[in-house]
């Protein structure tokens, strides 16, 4: 079994980039160096910050990300280190913060640092430790996203993934990379980015308009009472009076 002889953390040099997502590889190597008591020195020949712990090299290229392969090519070429003994640590958009994955070979997934390393080594067979930083929100450019500082909750999750991976470095150095990979992949605690839930709008109670009253039913009108029939006596009297007025006699 091949053991890891060089660990390369990817990032961009300079204060303005040191806390950005794209520097997750630097964060890992810095913490590993601190834990193992390794002092880093700027090596102009390799154009990198370099530290040594016995046979193990710790490297942080000081060129920008798209030229990361320069330091890797020079170091591995001089010390005759094959691709399968190289571990490259980098940020990974495809995994949520809190996730770390270990694998050998594969594609570069649009990562400029990996592209340059693969081109200069002429191989994809090096190991990768991928530190999840999450995908950008819809409509955001990935290149801009990785150059931003993650919020506190995401940074904490990323640091947690780094801490779990650091615990497995001794196993990697012993050559048991498959065992380290299996253990790492069962310890992930990713942070899911949940979209903010919109509270339903509370509609104001509509004022109820008073219902129109049903028109009152009109009382049924009684037909007019006909005048009482004239009595016979009154009729005769009336006829006599009329004759008297006209002067006619029987």
> Under a CB-based contact definition with an 8 Å cutoff, are residues 59 and 8 in contact?
yes
**Does the active-site annotation cover 45?**
no
If one counts every other C-beta atom within 10 angstroms of the C-beta of residue 149, the result is 13
Alpha-carbon distance values, 28 to 21, 23, 119, 242 (Å): 12, 9, 24, 139
Alpha-carbon distance 71 to 75, whole Å? Answer: 6
Alpha-carbon distances, residue 131 vs 8, 19, 71, 184, 248 (angstroms): 13, 14, 21, 12, 140
Distances (CA, A) of 69 to 46, 63, 167: 10, 9, 27
Looking up tokens 């806390």 gives 19
In angstroms, the first-to-last Cα distance of the chain is 163
The phi and psi torsions of 136 (rounded to 5 degrees) equal -70, 155
Block residue for tokens 């070429």: 77
DSSP 44-110: TTTTEEEEEETTEEEEEE-S-GGGTHHHHHHHHHHTT--GGGEEEEEEETTS-TT-EEEEES---TT
Residues assigned a catalytic role: 22
């Amino acid at each position: 079994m091949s053991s890891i002889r060089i660990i390369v953390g990817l990032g961009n040099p300079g204060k303005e980039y040191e806390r950005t997502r794209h520097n997750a590889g630097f964060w890992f190597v810095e913490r590993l160096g601190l834990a193992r008591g390794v002092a880093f020195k700027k090596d102009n020949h390799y154009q990198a910050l370099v530290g040594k712990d016995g046979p193990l090299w710790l490297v942080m290229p000081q060129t920008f990300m798209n030229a990361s392969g320069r330091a890797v090519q020079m170091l591995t070429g001089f010390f005759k280190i094959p691709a399968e003994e190289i571990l490259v640590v980098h940020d990974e958009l495809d995994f949520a913060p809190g996730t770390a994955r270990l694998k050998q070979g594969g594609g570069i997934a649009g990562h400029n640092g990996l592209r340059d390393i693969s081109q200069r080594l002429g191989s994809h067979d090096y190991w990768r430790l991928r530190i999840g930083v999450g995908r950008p929100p819809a409509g955001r450019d990935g290149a801009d996203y990785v150059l931003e500082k993650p919020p506190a909750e995401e940074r904490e999750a990323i640091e947690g993934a780094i801490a779990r991976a650091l615990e497995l470095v001794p196993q990697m150095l012993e050559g048991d990379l498959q065992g380290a990979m299996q253990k790492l992949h069962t310890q992930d605690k990713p942070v899911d980015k949940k979209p903010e839930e919109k509270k339903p709008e509370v509609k104001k109670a509509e004022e109820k308009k008073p219902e129109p009253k049903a028109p009152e039913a009109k009382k049924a009108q009684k037909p007019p009472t006909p005048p009482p029939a004239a009595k016979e006596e009154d009729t005769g009297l009336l006829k006599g009076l009329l004759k008297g007025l006209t002067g006619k006699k029987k």
